[in-house]
Structure 1
Amino acid sequence: MVTLYWAEDGAVPPGDRGLAYGDGLFETIRVDGGNAGLKAYHLDRMTRDAARLRIPVDRAELERILEQALMRYTGQYPADSWVLKLTLTRGSGGRGYRPAPELQPNLLVSHTALPPLPPATGVVADFSRVPLTVNPLLSGIKSLNRLEQVMAASELQDGVFEVLMANAQGHIVEGTRTNLFIETDQGWRTPASDTIAVTGVMRRYVLERLRASAEQVYEAPVLLEDMLASSCRGVYLTNSVLGVVPVRTLAGQDLPVTGRLATICGSTPTTE
């Protein structure tokens, strides 16, 4: 079992390993009208990644808590669209980095208003100077260790929606808060899941929708020249809170914006 904390009732204990060492993970879940459209995907990821970190957690218990949160917070926001956040840590205890045996995980539940949604006409993006290092042992996990993304996000200027990060090989991997898709003459391309820091639930949904629509999809490295080439039909960023976001300008170069990916995926995922 987890020890449950509602954010408005007080914070987790000072000795929590998530606070001390980033020893945990989190999910940010969009809610519309009391419905969390990608709920199952978020629960799948948190359960799977907790197992990878050897944090014992039961999916059914997480689902019960999520449903409690929906009942507790739905109706508190004027548009009835908001964001639910689940932060799971290994718990409290242990001297230094080594965790104490048989720790009980902590789960902090919080909520915020839905941020402004980007325009369907597309956003402005640029490239970050902060390199992204992906440890194979931790690839894809939405852990509490997000310092590279914090440093990259500090580069954001007014009018720039996102900056894209590259790895040591020069491959464009993802944004600070988004996954990446490009459409080319050969089909759709996205970086492979074992090369990215966070395997987004919206990324999973988009891949499923593309394959269900018989679109050609490749998980392969993405280079800067691929995105700025004349054969590029569009660059898209995905995020479970913001959805599918087309890029209209990248590093000062205008890109085609068709909205085709949003059409394929639909405006509001419903997978429950």
Structure 2
Amino acid sequence: MFRLIWADESGLPADDRGAAYGDGLFETIRMERQQGVLLSRHLERMVRDARRLGISVAHRDLARVCSEAVERLHSRYGGGWVLKLVLTRGSGGRGYRPDSAMLPNLMVQSSPLPPTPEPEGVVVDFSRIPLTVNPLLAGIKSLGRLEQVMAAAEITDPLFEVIMSDRDGHLVEGTRTNILLRHNDTWVTPPTASLAVAGVLRQWLLERLRYRGEPVVERPVTTDDVLGRECQGFFLLNSVLGVVPVRTIAGHDLPVDSGLATIFNPLEILE
């Protein structure tokens, strides 16, 4: 179980470990009225990754909270909105060492759906902030996102996003997006183990592409892959924003492929 906190009534306690140490994780879910895009996958990831952190939470309890949130919050928005779940290890104690008997805190927030990105493609750049991924935490949407915060400060008009690289110079992900490249008739994406956040849309889309018989490879992505002649399209993936084509990166024009639009329609995967 957990202590349930509604953000419109109160915030996390002052001694919450999520606020003090980033000791927790979160999910951001696109909602359409009373249904969520890939909702079950979001909840499954939270349960799975919480277990990796040693935080116990049940899928059925998260599903119950989502149902309560829908009844409580959806009427505030005309259609699309965003549901955010923040799960922390709990409150109390001094120092890093957690108490094994600690009760987790779950805070529920909501916000309007952000503007839809331009369908003809967005403008991005390469970030100067390197992204370091601890293998033990790879893929977890944890609360510790300082590198992304620093990189996001680089986003100024007309930039939509900046792409972060690892210590070897390989492109890994954006501040809020996973990346997918169409390269020499093959879909290419960085390996899951190299990601700070393994997105639910990324995983769903890779499964869908493979089901359709299209070649998909998980391997390191270089700037040459993106800027070279064999690049047939570069995409940003985010379960709230959807599949976003990139038309310009660091001043270099890219081909814009609309093929993924026939595969992903958020209104068709509501739960």
**What TM-score range do you get, normalising by the shorter chain?**
over 0.9
Task: Within 5 Å, give how 1:1-272 maps onto structure 2.
Answer: 1-78=1-78, 80-270=79-269, 272=271
- Supply the distance in 2 between the matched residues of 1:267 and 1:110 (Cα, whole angstroms): 21
**CA 1:114 to 1:150, structure 2 compared with 1: closer, same or farther past 3 Å?**
same
Deviation at 1:186, TM superposition (A): 4.1
How far 1:7 sits from its partner (Å)? 0.6
Q: Distance in 2 between matches of 1:169 and 1:104?
A: 40
The answer to whether the 8 Å contact 2:35/2:270 transfers is no
Distance 1:164 1:269, change over 3 A: farther
Give the Cα–Cα distance (whole angstroms) in 1 for the partners of residues 268 and 239 of structure 2: 9
CA contact (8 A) 2:172 2:194 kept: yes
CA distance in 1, matches of 2:97, 2:69: 32
Give the drift of 1:205.
1.4
The 1-side partners of 2:64 and 2:18 are apart by 22
Does the aligned pair in 2 maintain the 1:38–1:269 contact within 8 Å? no
TM-score in terms of structure 2 length = 0.98
| Alignment size in residue pairs | 271
Secondary structure of the residue aligned to 1:265 is coil
CA distance in 2, matches of 1:171, 1:227: 11
Across the aligned residues of Structure 1 and Structure 2, the Cα RMSD in angstroms comes to 1.0
Is contact 1:210–1:265 with CA below 8 Å preserved after alignment? no
- Superposed CA deviations along residues 201-222 of structure 1, whole A, max 9, x for unmatched, are 1111111111121110000000
Aligned partners of 2:186 and 2:215 also within 8 Å? yes
Q: Output one character per residue of 1:25-73: Cα deviation in whole Å (capped at 9) or x when no partner.
A: 0000000121102101100110000000000111110111011111111
Q: Which moved more, 1:177-186 or 1:259-268?
A: 259-268
1:264 positional shift? 2.0
- Counterpart-to-counterpart distance in 1, 2:124 and 2:155: 9
Q: Could you tell me how far apart the structure 2 residues matched to 1:268 and 1:204 are?
A: 18
C-alpha distance in 2, partners of 1:267/1:258? 18
CA contact (8 A) 1:164 1:172 kept: yes
Contact 2:201 2:237 survives alignment (8 Å): yes
Cα distance between partner residues in 2 of 1:173 and 1:59: 29
Distance 2:260 2:270 in 1: 18
Unaligned 5+ runs, structure 1: none
Following superposition, the deviation at residue 269 of structure 1 comes to 4.6
Provide TM-score, normalisation by structure 1: 0.98
